Amino acid sequence: MSTPDFSFETESQMQGFTRVAGVDEVGRGPLAGPVTAAAVVLDPAHIPPGLNDSKKLTAKRRQALIALLLEHADVSIAHASVEEIDEINILRASHLAMERAIAGLRTPPDFALIDGNLIPRGLTLPARAIIKGDALSLSIAAASIAAKTRRDQMMWDLAQQFPGYGWDSNAGYPTKQHREALQNLGVTPHHRRSFKPVHNILYQHKNLSD
């Protein structure tokens, strides 16, 4: 099984770019919570060993790696809210979170490696989209870890305020428990109303009350 390497970053630097940021997002599929993105500029002399697509790592490993990244890399994490997701759609909102993450870096990068097949249209610096970039580029892998650890923590915190939906374990994704809780407990302010399962329940309740 292949692991991410630094070749995309090196190639960009050979083209004259000095600060290359890896960018990734997490949380496009959940029914609840924000979409979260991270931008990371690695220090080539202090790259934590074991960086990989966050989905391939245990929660414990991700926590260990984010601690090292916060110590040795320039890391920025940003979000787009549920309201923004419902207003502009999830793809645009995920790109907005990416743009905010890049803008939040301590030192502005001059090039970005973006996970996926699209470059956010609001980006003001040169960039390259890489499909499955979190499994290919160390910087994007680092960004995926940063975004996932932050969003998982946010959803855990929200789960304490809204028990029953299982957000502490499902992070807002449409698991059986989450779908049943939507039916039984109703829609919270943190649910994405433009997403079909949530929209359908609101529609059902509206019809019942009419």
For the annotated binding site for a divalent metal cation, the residues are 24-25, 115
Could you tell me which residues are beta bridge partners of residue 204? Answer: none
HSE value, Cβ hemisphere, 13 Å, CA-based, for 201: 19
Query: 49: Cβ–Cβ under 8 A, 6 or more apart, which residues?
Result: none
Q: What is the rounded distance in angstroms from the CA atom of residue 29 to the CA atom of residue 27? A: 6
d(CA 53, CA 193): 29
Closest CA to 36 of 197, 152, 138: 152
Which residue numbers belong to the known binding site? 24-25, 115
- Residue 3 CA to residue 1 CA, distance in Å, equals 7
3-state secondary structure of 179: helix
The Cβ-side half-sphere exposure at 133, using a 13 Å CA radius, reads 26
- Relative to beta strand 74-80, strand 35-41 is antiparallel
